[in-house]
Structure 1
Amino acid sequence: MTKIKTLTIQFDTPLRRSEIPLFRGAIIAAIPSSNILFHNHYGTSLRYSYPLIQYKRIGGKAAITCIGKGIDAMEELFVNANYTLKIGRREVNLKIESIKAEDVDVSISPSPISYRIHEWLPLNEKHNKQFHSTESIVERVRLLEQILTGNILSLLKGLDIFIDFQLQSVITDFTIRSPIIYKHIKLTNVDLSFNVNINLPQQIGIGRHSSMGAGVLTKK
């Protein structure tokens, strides 16, 4: 059993999905130091670990979810940052609307727990060909379940959690949404409902581009 602390800060600033990278850039520019947890870069190279500070859109408004050490790093924003930011061409004055803290025991559950994932980007180039070359719903669900299990295991590894039981992920429903464009590439975008035998924190991201609002996890 491992406890994971999360902190979700909701601002009163309306934000479009396409503006999340701009919001991220505005926050990074407002931080006096170059704390890597805000941007996941070592100079020109990437920090290939699970992002502990995640920028997202919740209820149509700007939000940040912090995990573990990311919570400590956020103190710099609260203490030092200028809350007047430029998101693209518009200037905004960030005001905190709500703060929600969670302390979650990430552990096996005796019965399946139901979750939703919003705007999940599960498919790399290989999986994209597999997924779209079959019309079988069964085959599509099987592939998504395999990817989902892998994403959860990657999440746990990124949080230094290693489990001694087998994950049992079962998809109960999924919807293909309009694709998300990232660096001029169309990414298959999925809303998903599933059951799994592990307790996980809410509002954290799963899968690709989780640092910028993709794959947000909530309990049903």
Structure 2
Amino acid sequence: MLGEGHRAQAAPPCSWSLDLITALGRAGRRVLLCGGDLTGPGGAGWRGGEGGLKWAQESVVPLWERTERFRIYSPWLIPGPVQTASYITALLTSIRERRGLIDDVPAAVKVRVEKQQVVYGNHTFAILLEESVLRYRIGGTDVMAGQLGYLLSAMALPSVSIGIISQDADRSRIWPVEGFFLYDDELVNVELISAHLRRPASGTYGCSPTPRGPS
């Protein structure tokens, strides 16, 4: 599962990680630095509210377990499947404080980290990030150094492919959009400013006016 315990060596400085991720992309490795004329985008959905953060994490476990193919686009945050425990803690603490939710952050983090076992199962992950995601400081410098270090480790997993849209790419035809998760061909979760939009394969829409946060 993902978390700080997975890191066998000290986390590299943020600038070093960013340079390496970029270099790997330019060399055609598993991280692809997407540039040029972009014609389409590639998320992060989350449920939460009165049930607390732990319930929000538990509620999507069945969906994660039955999904074989995850396709994710995120313009703001590192997506849930490849987050470290410290990064998750910083995100969920911020959500709890802003929304005045019950303080069950440690329990919610534990569920989130346990959920990440799917990365090592019969599942595949195609993740597309805006380069700015790597630069936004969530939880401070040390947390981001650990997160970027783990992202480098996750790149080596055969189940994970990560693409990065460079900040100097020409965005004239398509600019960054809302983040989304595609769960096989069953469900699309789109994260909006104040709500969470779900579109199942049936074509019907559902909107949950719940606190924003990552899957």
Q: Which has the higher strand share?
A: 1
Q: Which has the higher helix share?
A: 2
Greater RCO, 1 or 2 (C-alpha within 8 Å, sep 6+): 2
TM-score of the superposition, structure 1-length normalised?
0.28
TM-score of the superposition, structure 2-length normalised?
0.28
Larger Rg: 1
